[in-house]
Structure 1
Amino acid sequence: MRFQPDLVQPGLRVPLTADPMLFAEAAALGREVIWLHCYGERFADMEAGRPKSPPRMPEDLRPFIPEDGGIPGAPEPLPDTMEYDAAQRRLHVGKGFIDNVSPEMWNYEVSGKKVVWHWFSYRRLDRSRPQIGDKRPPSQLDSIQPDHWLAEYTTDLIDLLNVLGRLIALEPAQADLMERILKAELIKADHLKAALGEGEADN
């Protein structure tokens, strides 16, 4: 609720620190987040522990598929269920499962949507969705999909869970940094406007 008054007027609100050290720390944390969001394709830096490959959690925290947990491919049809067992930290996908999945990974949301379930909803057997507003019949392209679970789906899901796990691990550092930035001097919009005006005057 801290930023609620600032959000009355639409638009982005980013607290911009005037402290160079805090700015550098925020930039470094931002590079880590972008590396995760891009699955290692951007801001790779081996010295910073960011290889140009799909990110992975530490081995003891990493989601994995046990020998008896493989998600069946052909001739099995696409699975239509995904369920989470918090007690076992196990994510069931049809007849297969993935272990070492934390509740935070399963419940991770973006814009009110659970990321893991949303990912699965585009790869499950029944991809139909309730019609809201637009009553036109769905596109026939929606029916074009594999008739079985692909190995690349399993790889993608493991990659996604690792990325979510690492994003979750960054949240305390992000919260701490935000607190320190908000307690320090900020660059106000008026400062930027004044600086821009001075720059235009110099030109």
Structure 2
Amino acid sequence: MRPSSPPQRCRYAAQRHARSPPPLLAGRLGIPVVAEDLLAYIAAIASHPEYTARFREDLEVPGARIPLTAAPCLWERAVAIGRRVLWLHTYGERYADETAGRPYGRVLLPHDRPRCVTEIPDDVEAMPEKLAYDPVTQDLCVGSGRISPVPRTVREYEVSGMNVLDKWFGYRRRNPAGKRRLELDHVVATRWLPSWTTELLELLNVLGLLKREEPAQADLLNEVCAGPLITVTDLTTAGILPVPTEATKALQAKSDAGDALFDL
């Protein structure tokens, strides 16, 4: 069926300790579905600005609403996009697949990569206090250091209204962000660490690649919402909703021996 506007949506909240999602998905889609695929689907659907813009009013109430497609081709497309998104979010440590162009631990823009044009000084006197940005030259200035090119979309990249670069730099500037409740909270770095420059370049590559995924994510979301959906009624009839109380509890930390949620 085609949903009305706004489309009928559902909140996915399966038992999070389960190794596999409910068989409803595999049954409706006619293809195997594992938990990692469901996570990738959610990442593809929700981790971009079009999702927030489309469901802005609904998101005023805590909890993400995820439209679940009943179209196998859209599901497979979403999973493919989501795997790449999660690979980027984890700096290549999860969902790595060399054959799919997702090498383990190596996330780099194919061209126009940001580079440190002017070294960020590591002496005490030159400890950076703020970020400056020139949208014309695409220069990101960290104190007296300079990194370029940094597209404006990357400089302005936000997650839930939080600017990612400002947040990252806020804990590394001369007077770092954060509350000072304990004596140890006042022990902060007095000089810029070279490793931070490496981290910043890695972050800029990740953000640049995430921006490239957004048009495909937006097109996908629009097609999913315009196509057949697995509805709240479907989930209720299958016994997935309402969610059991025990499934809403926070996950407990696991031992070093393993038992991770996903072994990817």
Q: Same fold (TM over 0.5)?
A: yes
Q: Which position in structure 2 is the counterpart of 1:64?
A: 115
Distance 2:54 2:157 in 1: 22
Matched, 1:14 2:66: yes
Q: Which residue among 128, 135, 148 is the counterpart of 1:79?
A: 128
Task: Provide Cα deviations, 1:82-133, integer angstroms capped at 9, x if missing partner.
Answer: 100111100000111101100011111112111101100100011256x8xx
Unaligned runs of 5+ in 2: 1-52, 241-264
Q: CA RMSD in A?
A: 1.9
Residue type matched to 2:145 in 1?
Answer: G
Q: 1:5 to 1:78 in 2, by over 3 A?
A: closer
Check the 8 A contact 1:77/1:147 in 2, yes or no: no
Residue 175 of structure 1 aligns to a residue in which SS?
Answer: helix
Matched, 1:157 2:206: no
Matched, 1:3 2:55: yes
Check the 8 A contact 2:126/2:144 in 1, yes or no: no
Residue type matched to 2:155 in 1?
Answer: W
Residue 65 of structure 1 aligns to a residue in which SS?
Answer: strand
Check the 8 A contact 1:77/1:125 in 2, yes or no: no
Q: 1:153 to 1:175 in 2, by over 3 A?
A: same
Check the 8 A contact 1:32/1:43 in 2, yes or no: yes
Distance 1:124 1:8 in 2: 33
Q: Which position in structure 2 is the counterpart of 1:27?
A: 79
Distance 2:62 2:197 in 1: 39
Displaced runs of 4 or more, over 6 A: none
Aligned length: 188
1:55-134 aligned within 5 A: 55-59=107-111, 61-66=112-117, 69-74=118-123, 76-128=125-177
Q: Which position in structure 1 is the counterpart of 2:221?
A: 178
Q: 1:120 to 1:47 in 2, by over 3 A?
A: same
Structure 1 length-normalised TM: 0.85
Task: Provide Cα deviations, 1:54-74, integer angstroms capped at 9, x if missing partner.
Answer: 411112x211112xx011113
Q: Percent of counterpart pairs with the same letter?
A: 44
